[in-house]
């Protein structure tokens, strides 16, 4: 099914392309070329995607207009994008590719390749502008990036945008903006397809910057933990609770995860550092395991760590005698057990595990967890985060999983 695309012969004219103002991708329009064989486009000089556009037109899966322009900022219809990606990948196209139904043969080829799954039914839907999320979904499927470690995860559309940024197919619009519902331009489409072709040729693309990937992951899973711990996680991820809701079995308690943010305390430019006052926090061992005394140590002196900050909402507590009056949902975490010796070392200021965090007046911060990098680097294991309903004994808690991943030394 997959075919090599490229020809070393440069053509002097490009026929069969996308034409503005018609419902068809077939046209007799042509653009002139210079004597060297390079196609002349008059409106891409200095454009950020000029190189990719020139390559795409030369390869022949898209063309300019008869007046010598390319119109890189013009929006792209769903039908146009599917035609481009099928043509660029040299998939077998069978059937009529002319007239009002010209796009159906390309859609069929994309479906056969597993790129398209009947998302659009009517001619009207096919002729609407494609969104960036839809573009990401098609590109990720075409690249096979929804397989492997993510194979058994049922992705929604934000999941595909995250995968696209993680694979380097989409790099955002600057400043970490993902713009999932934004429209896709011809220039953006070409750039994504050119990256896709590089992946097919075995090239490893640079991922989008951490801010862009974080924002895409927030949209998908309300956390950025995969992005921030990317250097430590094995290629194995486990399902999570997509409802983000903790509801007690008796119907008397309901809480929700709003966001779980991972901050790199070493990175002075981490955009999420403003969420907490690091100078107002200290760490120490879990009090119940330290019977005689326990010491606190300023967090600002231990920046070689990740800080996990939880934002939750309690929707209702219908029986405070069973579930208390907390206005937040409890976090639970696990990354192995610790010996009495390790706990004693932690009490002496040796950060060899996951400690408790406290305010400067000694109040436990149940919505925060400190992950020292040297702890992550020194032991393999399963790192797990979840939410638990507040409960007063003998009432049992209700738990959901936010994240579970395998830490692996590299």
> Do 211 and 294 fall within a single domain?
no
Please report whether residue 160 resides in a domain: yes
Domain finish residue from 221, 236, 265: 221
**214 and 359 both lie in a single domain:** no
| pLDDT tens digit sequence for 107-120 | 999 999 999 988 88
Q: From the CB of residue 236, how many other CB atoms can be counted at a distance below 10 Å?
A: 12
**How far apart are alpha carbons 114 and 228 in whole angstroms?**
30
pLDDT per residue as tens digits for the range 28-43: 333 333 334 567 899 9
Place 145 in a pLDDT band, splitting at 50, 70 and 90: confident
What pLDDT band is residue 206 in, cutting at 50, 70 and 90? very high
Whether 147 and 258 share a structural domain:
no
| 351-392: pLDDT as tens digits | 888 888 999 988 889 899 999 998 888 877 888 888 999 899
Do residues 169 and 256 both lie within one domain?
no
- Out of 221, 254, 285, pick the residue that ends a domain: 221
Where is average pLDDT lowest: 135-144, 262-271, 320-329?
320-329
pLDDT digits over 67-110, tens only? 999 999 999 999 999 999 999 999 999 987 888 889 999 999 99
One domain for residues 119 and 165 = yes
312 within a domain of the structure (yes/no): yes
Residue where a domain stops, chosen among 221, 237, 256: 221
Q: Please check the confidence at residue 152 and state whether its pLDDT lies above 50.
A: no
Look at residue 243 and tell me whether its pLDDT is greater than 60.
yes
Runs of H (alpha helix) within 276-385: 320-323, 340-347, 373-378
pLDDT over 50 at 20, yes or no: no
Between 375 and 196, name the one with better pLDDT.
196
Place of tokens 């002496």: 348
Are residues 291 and 193 located together in one domain of the fold? no
Q: Evaluate whether residue 195 is within a structural domain.
A: yes
On the question of pLDDT at 27 being above 90, the answer is no
Number of domains in the chain: 2
What is the per-residue pLDDT for 113? Answer: 94
| Residue labelled with tokens 């400043």 | 175
Is there a domain that residue 43 lies in? no
Indicate if 79 and 208 belong to the same structural domain: yes
Give the model's confidence band at 294: pLDDT under 50 very low, under 70 low, under 90 confident, else very high: confident
Same domain, 186 and 277: no
Mean pLDDT across 214-225: 93
64 and 208 assigned to the same domain: yes
Structure-model confidence comparison of residues 34 and 314, the more confident one: 314
Give the pLDDT confidence score for residue 289 in this predicted structure: 52
Shared domain for 64 and 210, answered yes or no, is yes
Q: What is the pLDDT of residue 100?
A: 83
Position 302 confidence tier, pLDDT thresholds 50, 70, 90 = very high
Same domain, 213 and 295: no
Task: Tell me the C-alpha to C-alpha distance, in Å, between residue 231 and each of 228, 235, 348.
Answer: 8, 11, 29
- Asked, for residue 358, whether it belongs to a domain, the answer is yes
Give the pLDDT score at 195. Answer: 97
pLDDT value at 3 more than 60? no
State the residue range of the domain holding 169: 50-221
**What are phi and psi for residue 63, nearest 5 degrees?**
-140, 165
Assigned domain for 336 exists = yes
Write the CB contacts of 184 (distance below 8 Å, at least 6 apart in sequence): 75, 76, 81, 129, 130, 131, 132, 134, 135
User: Of residues 192 and 396, which shows the higher confidence score?
Assistant: 192
Does any domain span residue 232?
Answer: no
Indicate whether 373 belongs to any domain: yes
* Long-range contact pairs involving 369-373 (C-beta distance under 8 Å, separation at least 24): 369/307, 369/308, 369/331, 369/333, 370/283, 370/299, 370/302, 370/305, 370/306, 370/307, 370/308, 371/262, 371/305, 371/306, 371/307, 371/308, 371/335, 372/302, 372/304, 372/305, 373/266, 373/304, 373/305, 373/306
Are 271 and 203 in a shared domain?
no
Q: What is the mean pLDDT of residues 177-190?
A: 94
Place of tokens 């030369």: 58
């Amino acid at each position: 099914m997959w075919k090599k695309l490229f020809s070393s012969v440069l053509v002097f004219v490009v026929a069969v392309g996308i034409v503005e103002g018609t419902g068809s991708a077939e046209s007799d329009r042509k653009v002139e070329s210079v004597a060297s064989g390079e196609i002349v486009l008059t409106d891409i000089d200095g454009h950020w995607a000029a190189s990719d556009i020139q390559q795409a037109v030369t390869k022949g899966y898209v063309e300019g207009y008869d007046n010598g322009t390319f119109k890189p900022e013009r929006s792209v219809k769903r039908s146009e994008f599917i035609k481009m990606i099928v043509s660029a990948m040299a998939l077998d196209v069978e059937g009529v590719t002319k007239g009002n139904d010209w796009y159906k043969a390309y859609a069929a080829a994309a479906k056969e390749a597993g790129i398209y799954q009947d998302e659009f039914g009517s001619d009207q839907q096919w002729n609407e502008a494609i969104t960036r999320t839809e573009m990401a979904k098609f590109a990720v499927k075409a690249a096979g990036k929804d397989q492997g470690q993510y194979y058994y995860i049922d992705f929604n559309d934000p999941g595909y945008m995250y995968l696209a940024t993680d694979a380097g197919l989409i790099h955002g619009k600057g400043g970490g903006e993902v713009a999932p519902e934004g429209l896709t331009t011809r220039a953006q489409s070409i750039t994504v397809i050119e990256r896709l072709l590089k992946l097919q040729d075995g090239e490893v693309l640079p991922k989008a910057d951490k801010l862009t990937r974080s924002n895409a992951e927030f949209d998908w899973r309300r956390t950025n933990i995969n992005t921030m711990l990317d250097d430590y996680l094995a290629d194995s991820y486990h399902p999570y609770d997509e409802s983000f809701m903790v509801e007690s079995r008796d119907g008397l308690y309901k809480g929700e995860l709003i966001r779980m943010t991972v901050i790199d305390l070493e990175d002075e430019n981490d955009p999420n550092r403003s969420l907490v006052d690091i100078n107002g926090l200290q760490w120490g061992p879990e009090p119940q395991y330290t019977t005689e005394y326990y010491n606190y140590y300023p967090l600002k002196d231990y920046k070689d760590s990740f800080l996990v900050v939880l934002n939750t909402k309690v929707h209702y507590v219908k029986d405070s005698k069973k579930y208390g009056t907390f206005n937040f949902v409890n976090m639970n975490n696990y990354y192995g057990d610790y010996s009495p010796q390790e706990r004693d070392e932690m009490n002496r200021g040796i950060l060899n595990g996951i400690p408790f965090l406290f305010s400067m007046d000694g109040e436990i911060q149940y919505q925060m967890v400190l992950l020292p990098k040297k702890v992550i680097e020194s032991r393999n294991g399963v790192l797990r985060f979840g939410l638990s309903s507040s409960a007063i004994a003998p009432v049992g808690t209700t738990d959901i999983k936010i994240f579970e991943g395998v830490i692996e030394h590299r």
